[in-house]
Amino acid sequence: MTETALPLAGLRVLDISSFIAAPAAATVLGDWGADVIKIEGPDGDPNRTIMQSSANYPKGEVNYPWHMDSRNKRSLVLDLKNPAARPALDRLIAVSDILICNFPPPVREKLRLAYDDVKPVNPRLIYASLTGYGETGPDRDRPGFDATAYFARSGLLDAQRYEGGPPGVPGPAQGDRATAMGLVSAILMALIHRMKTGEGSWVGTSLLGNGLWSCGVIAQAALVGAYLPHRPPPERPRSALGNIYRTADDRWLQITIVREDKLWAPLCTAVGRPDLIADPRFAETEVRRRHSADLAAILSDEFARRDYEHWRHALASHDVTFGVISRPQDVPDDPQAVACGAVVETAIPEMPRTLSNPIRLGFAEQRIAHAAPALGQHSDEILHEAGLGAAEIAALRASGAVR
């Protein structure tokens, strides 16, 4: 590897997966230099149309989720249900390093895509499996989605609610993308193992496992019988000085005052209520806690009078710190989002910026994103590289196995 080479250059990845967690892991491998071949059925990965089909996706003119999850991949359309496709698939497996698969177990069996099926073709292959709920057990065959497996089943959504309120709201693909990093780590472990032993292996992770890992504190607590009470809603906080308040423009300020002795008076001044400083109901921490609902009512009236920008300045000028609750639309223009490398430029004219994966390496830069492939855009090229002749490719096309 030369100084400028990417750490995964020279590795070939077969991304036989759909939707988001597993394809996003393949994207990360591609960002670091791997040659990622996306194998899709004749209808293509449904993630190609999710922006329009999902009610919970931001709608845009540009197919941004597809570009993001398929950048720098090449597309091969192979109808795995067609028996004629198998020899071509085996040829590809024989010359690949990593295969990523997220079919539910019964589909893998039907398609002969379980690890035991492909290992004889290439014993050095790293087979990376993503499931919703694990490889065995009563729910192993259930298709898993991040809302159901990562968030709902793990207990995250139930724990993320205000007392008496509805469950938390997962963002689109939020758990999928976090899970992608678990899958990438698993694959890299296998690469290290292969380097030491020369052997390929099975590795994997599940959406449920990643959801539970992320809420590991409450899961570990539940294992010893300790539980987190649901958070009181903002109008009945445990402390009015550790609470959230809505501004006139429907944004939220997170006030977290730990040193109440020092910051109580500056807060009263900042919100234009110096009279509260001498109010006996709020004279010191103990009584303030007892009257927290009264104080929260007063403060929420005050904060609701002015916009977020006003409060940002007013609080800062009195040295009252608060947590920023950004809106997604604030992130693109946040200089720190660029500084930390989260927002990067692309080579895609219709989508000039995208999000990098969160891994930073001092010795290599992530590849710049090129447009996601059209369905089957690279079929001929990929098969040709795998050693298939023009006549073979023509026959595959005639059989309908390749498009």
Partner 1 sequence: MSEAEPLPLAGLVVLDISSFIAGPAAAVALADFGADVIKIEPPGEGDPHRQNYKSPNYPRRDNQVNFPWQLDGRLKRSLALDLKNDSARTILERLLKRADVMIVNFPPPARERLRLRWEDIEPLNPRLVYCSLTGYGETGPDRDRPGFDITAYFGRSGILDAARYEGGPPGISLPAQGDRATAMTLVAAILLGLRRRDLTGKGGWVGTSLYANGVWANGTSAAGALIGAKLPPRQAPDKPRNALTNLYRTKDDRWLQLLVVRDDRMWGTLCEAIGRPDLATDPRFTDREERKSRSLELVQELMPVFASKTYADWEAILSRTGIPFGVIGRVADVVTDAQAEHAGLFADTTNPEVPRTVNNPIRLGFARPRTSGPPPAVGQHNDEVLREAGFSDSEIAALKKAGALG
Minimum Å distance from CB 160 to partner 1? 5
HSE-up of residue 148 (Cα within 13 Å, Cβ side): 8
CB-CB contact of 325 with 256 (8 Å): no
CB-CB contact of 239 with 256 (8 Å): no
What angle, rounded to 10 degrees, do the helices at 207-214 and 174-197 form? 110
Q: Which of 192, 391 has the CB closer to partner 1?
A: 192
Minimum Å distance from CB 57 to partner 1? 7
Minimum Å distance from CB 58 to partner 1? 3
Q: Which of 160, 269 has the CB closer to partner 1?
A: 160
Minimum Å distance from CB 375 to partner 1? 21
Q: From 123, 194, 104, 124, select the one nearest 114 (Cα to Cα).
A: 104
Instruction: Kindly report the backbone phi and psi dihedral angles of residue 258, in degrees, each rounded to the nearest multiple of 5, phi listed first.
Output: -90, -45
Minimum Å distance from CB 36 to partner 1? 16
Q: Which of 96, 201 has the CB closer to partner 1?
A: 201
What angle, rounded to 10 degrees, do the helices at 216-223 and 207-214 form? 90
SS3 199: coil
What is the 8-class DSSP label of residue 318?
A: T
Q: Which of 339, 391 has the CB closer to partner 1?
A: 339
Q: Which of 42, 234 has the CB closer to partner 1?
A: 234
What whole-number distance in Å separates Cα of residue 238 and Cα of residue 92?
60
Q: Which of 49, 354 has the CB closer to partner 1?
A: 354
Please state the three-class secondary structure of 148-193 as a single string: HHHHHCCCHHHHCCECCCCCCCCCCCHHHHHHHHHHHHHHHHHHHH
Minimum Å distance from CB 299 to partner 1? 14
Q: Which of 6, 268 has the CB closer to partner 1?
A: 6
Minimum Å distance from CB 231 to partner 1? 6
Q: Which of 324, 390 has the CB closer to partner 1?
A: 324
What's the angle, vertex CA 256, arms to CA 255 and CA 260, rounded to 5? Answer: 110
Minimum Å distance from CB 367 to partner 1? 14
Q: Read out DSSP for 18-63?
A: -SSHHHHHHHHHHHTT-EEEEEE-TT--GGGGHHHH-TTSPP-SS-
Q: What residues pair up with 74 in beta bridges, in sequence order? A: 37
